[in-house]
Amino acid sequence: MTHYKANLAPKIALYEPDIPQNTAAIIRTCACMGAQLEIIEPCGFLFNDKRFKRVAMDYMDTKNINFHQSAEDFFKAKSNDRVILITTKAKKIYTDFKFNEKDTLLFGKESAGVPKKVHNLLKEKIKIPMVGKKRSLNLSTSVAIILSESLRQIKI
């Protein structure tokens, strides 16, 4: 595998994640692909949950994870950054989107996505196309797909 400078990778942000195994898998993906993870609280689980620990294993490195106490705190911290919402409600397909290394890629909670007020705040929205009337992919799968495409485009 090719190695690259992790500080050039886009950031992944999770809005109030509620499934510990998905968050743990995303922690592993971010650790392996060099992406910073941002978690917007509250979470629907505790980080000492045994299901979480089993999947995260030794990839839980808190210096690569930034916690925000609320969506308001997150958006204050991102006031000068481009935040892209990944949502099934978007019109633009992720492969038609031009990523850059300073992007923050925002994913909603598994059970409900993001609230309408967050949706309305963001100009950039993209989706992963699916066949038929399928609702959505697993969150950790979606993160891996979008992060991989963003890294491919910015050629890290």
Peptide bond into 42 cis (omega under 30): yes
Successive 10-residue mean pLDDT values, the chain, 156 residues: 59 94 90 92 78 62 82 95 95 96 94 93 96 89 96 85
- pLDDT, residue 156, reads 60
Q: Whole-structure pTM over 0.85, yes or no? A: yes
User: What digits encode the pLDDT tens for the residues 92-101?
Assistant: 999 999 999 8
pLDDT score of 39: 94
**Tens of pLDDT along 8-36?**
678 999 999 998 889 989 998 998 898 99
Question: How much of the chain, in percent, has pLDDT values that exceed 90?
Answer: 62
Amino acid at position 30, single letter:
C
Domains in the chain: ranges and CATH: 6-154 (3.40.1280.10)
pLDDT value of residue 1: 45
The DSSP element (H or E) to which 12 belongs, if any, is: strand 11-15
CA separation for the pair 30, 61 (Å, rounded): 10
